[in-house]
Amino acid sequence: MISVDKLIECSRTGTKFGEDGELKYTPRDIGELVRQIRRDLGVTQRALALTSGTGLRFIIELEKGKETAEIGKVLTVLQTLGIQLTLAPPAATKRG
């Protein structure tokens, strides 16, 4: 099992911007971050799968950047690793 203390000390956020200045993440970016944090924690793919309630195949495919990975499971893995995901609504536009 992954210790809570290790998760807290390795909690990370990532920022990537596209040409238009907007935040951009690809499935590959997310997979690479998951792999990096998992390795930094010294956790095997199998242990991460067990701890997050997913399967080993899912973790392998997520780390490879599978574009059709189930979002609920992805969010669970991110939370298990202590990776913070921030969502923001689009800027409000004035009408009138």
Task: Tell me what pLDDT residue 91 has.
Answer: 77
Q: Which pTM does this prediction carry? A: 0.73
Whole-angstrom Cα distance, residue 73 to residue 49?
10
Lowest mean pLDDT among 6-10, 19-23, 36-40, 45-49: 6-10
Higher per-residue pLDDT: 83 or 24: 83
Distance of CA 85 to the CA centre of its chain: 7
CB 7 within 8 A of CB 82: yes
In words, the CATH class of domain 4-81 is mainly alpha
Give, in order, the Cα–Cα distances in Å from 26 to each of 19, 42, 64. Answer: 14, 24, 11
Evaluate if residue 35 carries a pLDDT over 90: yes
pLDDT, averaged across the chain = 82
DSSP helix/strand/coil, 80 = helix
Whole-angstrom Cα distance, residue 64 to residue 37?
14
